[in-house]
Amino acid sequence: MKRILLACVAIAAAMSTARADAPPPDERQAVAMSEADRAWVLRAMRSHVEALRDITAGIAAGDLARSGDAAAAMGTDAMKADTTRPAGLRAKLPPAWITLVLAMHREFDGIRDGVQAREDATQLMARLGRVTTQCAACHAAYRIQVAP
């Protein structure tokens, strides 16, 4: 009887450990796209992060021209002028994803405008926070799934 009880305790402990070690399921909405579309989206995301780096470094160094240029390169005008976007990609994206992307690009415009208005670092960092809020919301809601 004692052996059975010890075996049950060992099995229960092993089962609970296995469940505790398993990663939680990814409940974000999967967005299906081709590998080429995925590569373009990831490249665009990296360019957003590079712009965030340059904006932050410019603010920290007092080099607002660097911040303004980086923000303008990610703003709505630059987005509209981008001829590298794969044809048909937009149709694959959920409307809420598009809403977040457009809001992010408008917030980059806001940083550019803040630089042109000579806002102080605190105001510019608040604008930067609004950009990253859009980024975080999108990354929390969606994940890319390569379509077969």
pLDDT confidence of residue 130: 96
Using DSSP, state whether 77 is helix, strand or coil: helix
Sole residue written with tokens 């987005």: 79
Running DSSP on this structure, what letter comes out for residue 86? P
Total H helices, total E strands in the chain:
7, 2
User: Which is more confidently placed, 23 or 129?
Assistant: 129
Measuring CA to CA, which residue among 82, 146, 70, 132 is closest to residue 103? 132
Partners of 32 in the β-ladder: 145
Strand partners of residue 143: 30
Query: What is d(CA 2, CA 8) in angstroms, rounded to the nearest whole number?
Result: 10
Q: Could you give the CA distance from residue 124 to residue 110 in angstroms, rounded to a whole number?
A: 9
pLDDT, tens digit (0-9, with 9 covering 90-100), for 5-46 = 555 455 655 555 555 678 889 999 999 999 999 999 999 999
Nearest-angstrom CA–CA distance, 75 and 62: 21
- pLDDT higher than threshold 90 for residue 126: yes
Q: Which pLDDT does position 19 carry in this prediction?
A: 57
Instruction: For residue 29, give both structure tokens.
Output: 């909405």
Specify whether domain 26-146 bears CATH 1.20.120.10. yes
- Region 79-90: what's the mean pLDDT? 93
| Contact yes or no for 54/70 (Cβ under 8 A) | yes
Cα distance between residue 108 and residue 31, in whole Å: 25
What is the domain partition of the chain in residue ranges? 26-146
Whole-model pTM: value is 0.82
* Cα 15 to Cα 9, 18, 21, distances in angstroms: 10, 5, 10
